[in-house]
C-alpha cells in the first residue's frame, strides 16, 4: 500500500477542515449573488443572478447612499400516504444579501429595476464627485 504525504506533512489538517463550506459561509453568499456591473451613458448597469427566486422574494433598499439587495426564500414540500400520514416532509429557508455604495445624492426614484429570467437588472445613475470649494486657511500669527 502506497501512502501519499499530505501537504506540509499533515500540519495543516485543521486549516483544511475550516476551509469546508460549512465553516466558510461568506464565500457562498458572494457566489449566490453573482453581480456584473458595467458603465454606460453615465449610468451603472447591474445584473445580479438570483436563480430560483421570484420577484416577490427580492427587496431593494436605499439607505444613506448604500443600496442593499436582499432575497429570501421559504419553501416547503410534503408527501402523504393514503391515510394522510407523512411519508416525506421538507422545509427550506434561506436569505442572502449584498450591499453596494451608490452615492448619497442618489434617491430611490433615480434607480430603475426589473427582474427577468432569474436576473435582477438595475440602472443606477453615476453620481458625479462633488467639487470641494477652496477655502482660505489662515495661519494665526502670535
Confidence check: pLDDT of 4 > 60: no
Half-sphere exposure of 70 (CA within 13 A, CB side): 8
Query: What's the predicted TM-score (pTM) here?
Result: 0.62
Tell me the pLDDT tens digit for each residue of 47-69: 999 988 899 999 999 999 999 99
Paired strand residues for 68: 61, 99
Tell me how crowded residue 28 is: count the other CB atoms within 10 A of its CB: 11
Question: pLDDT at position 133, please?
Answer: 61
The CATH code of the domain at 33-125 is 2.60.40.790
Tell me the pLDDT tens digit for each residue of 75-112: 777 777 777 777 777 777 788 899 999 988 889 999 99
Amino acid at each position: 500500500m502506497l501512502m501519499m504525504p499530505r501537504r506540509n506533512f499533515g500540519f495543516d489538517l485543521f486549516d483544511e477542515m475550516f476551509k469546508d463550506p460549512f465553516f466558510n459561509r461568506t464565500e457562498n453568499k458572494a457566489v449566490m449573488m453573482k453581480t456584473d456591473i458595467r458603465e454606460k451613458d453615465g449610468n451603472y448597469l447591474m445584473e445580479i443572478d438570483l436563480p430560483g427566486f421570484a420577484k416577490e422574494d427580492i427587496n431593494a433598499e436605499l439607505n444613506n447612499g448604500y443600496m442593499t439587495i436582499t432575497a429570501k426564500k421559504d419553501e416547503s414540500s410534503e408527501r402523504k400516504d393514503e391515510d394522510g400520514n407523512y411519508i416525506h416532509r421538507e422545509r427550506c429557508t434561506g436569505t442572502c444579501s449584498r450591499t453596494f455604495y451608490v452615492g448619497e445624492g442618489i434617491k430611490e426614484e433615480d434607480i430603475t429595476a426589473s427582474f427577468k429570467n432569474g436576473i435582477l437588472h438595475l440602472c443606477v445613475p453615476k453620481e458625479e464627485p462633488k467639487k470641494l470649494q477652496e477655502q482660505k486657511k489662515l495661519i494665526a500669527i502670535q
